[in-house]
């Protein structure tokens, strides 16, 4: 299915993100961008098909998102969703519950950085329902 | 002089990098992209005018470069220079002596990540001479 992904950034798309599919509504693709463990900056490019988003979740070490292609959204629990376009950066503090994904009508790619990887743990929560998503991105 | 910088990426250009000018041959611009210290991922966009490069240097915590605009080069001591275009990522291990900068005929922007910021120290060495630069990028 990789041929179905349009070119929306300069970064590799990788493979369909089947390992984490249970935490996503919709299809996503994942490319690992770094490998030197001494640097402590694991970095991925994540590509979401239109309408795709991940479940509510949090990272005990925090996360940084760098939008690199298309249009997406980031929402922190209890706040309005934030529209993301290439060049936008979101810093997500430790244990902040949030979700991110594509706009309903656009593919989206962001680089994701796992912060403090030596202590980081991800906590996956409930899906973002269709109603919740529609309300957030309208 | 900021008006002189062409738009080559989606990321902010920031201000002319006068604080570090003594470690650069040519003019550069610097924009801080992150501010949450809990995340331990200080991130900057660095923009180099054509021909601009920094001195040979090393980081005790290592560094990651993410090319986002124009064309540049990265060289590790004792190795051939590597051409960098948007989407290219370079992982620089701790204490590796290197330089980076623009191509002779192109502006260049890369995001730079300071790795392991709690222990990182930068060591600045000699300039990359005109002859050395010309030989590296030819």
Q: What is the 3-state secondary structure (H, E, C) of chain A?
A: CHHHCCCCCCCCCCEECCCCHHHEECCEEEEECCCCHHHCCCEEEEEECCCCEECCEEECCCEEEEEEEECEEEEECCCCCEEECCCCEEEECCCCCEEEEECCCCCEEEEEEECCCCCCCEEECCCCCHHHHHHHHC
Residues with Cβ within 8 Å of A69's Cβ and at least 6 positions away in sequence, in order, are A8, A9, A11, A47, A86, A107, A108, A109
pLDDT per position as a tens digit, B68-113: 999 999 999 999 999 999 999 999 999 999 999 999 999 999 999 9
Neighbours of A83 (CB within 10 A): 13
CB contact under 8 A, B34 and A64: yes
Output the pTM of the full model: 0.97
pLDDT digits (tens, 9 = 90+) for A13-51: 999 999 999 999 999 999 999 999 999 999 999 999 999
Are residues A85 and A113 in contact, defined by beta-carbon separation less than 8 angstroms?
no
Q: Which of B10, B41, B91 sits opposite A86 (nearest CB)?
A: B10
Q: Is B34 within 8 Å of A91 when comparing Cβ atoms?
A: yes
pLDDT, position A4: 83
Nearest to A72 by CA among A18, A28, A127, A124: A28
pLDDT at B32: 98
Binary contact (B115, A40; C-beta < 8 A):
yes
| H-helix segments, chain B | 130-137
Interface check for B5 against chain A (CB to CB < 8 A): the answer is no
B60-119 residues touching A, CB cutoff 8 A: 61-64, 66, 68, 85-87, 89, 91, 93-94, 111, 113, 115-116
Residue A1, pLDDT above cutoff 70: no
State the complex-level ipTM.
0.96
* In the block, residue with structure tokens 């923009």: B47
Contacts of A35 in chain B (CB under 8 A): 91
Residues 118-137 on B with a CB inside 8 Å of A are none
- For the stretch A99-131, pLDDT in tens is 999 999 999 999 999 999 999 999 999 999 999
């Amino acid at each position: 299915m990789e041929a179905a992904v349009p070119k929306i950034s300069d970064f590799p798309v990788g493979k369909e993100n089947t390992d984490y599919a249970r935490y996503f509504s919709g299809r996503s693709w994942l490319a690992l961008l770094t490998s030197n463990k001494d640097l402590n900056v694991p970095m991925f490019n994540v590509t979401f098909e239109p309408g795709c988003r991940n479940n509510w979740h949090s990272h005990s070490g925090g996360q940084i998102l760098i939008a690199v292609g298309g249009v997406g959204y980031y929402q922190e629990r209890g706040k309005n969703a934030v529209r993301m376009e290439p060049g936008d950066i979101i810093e997500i503090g430790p244990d902040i519950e949030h979700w991110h994904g594509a706009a309903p009508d656009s593919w989206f790619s962001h680089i994701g950085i796992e912060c403090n990887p030596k202590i980081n743990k991800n906590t996956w929560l409930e899906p973002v329902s269709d109603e919740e998503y529609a309300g957030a991105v309208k």
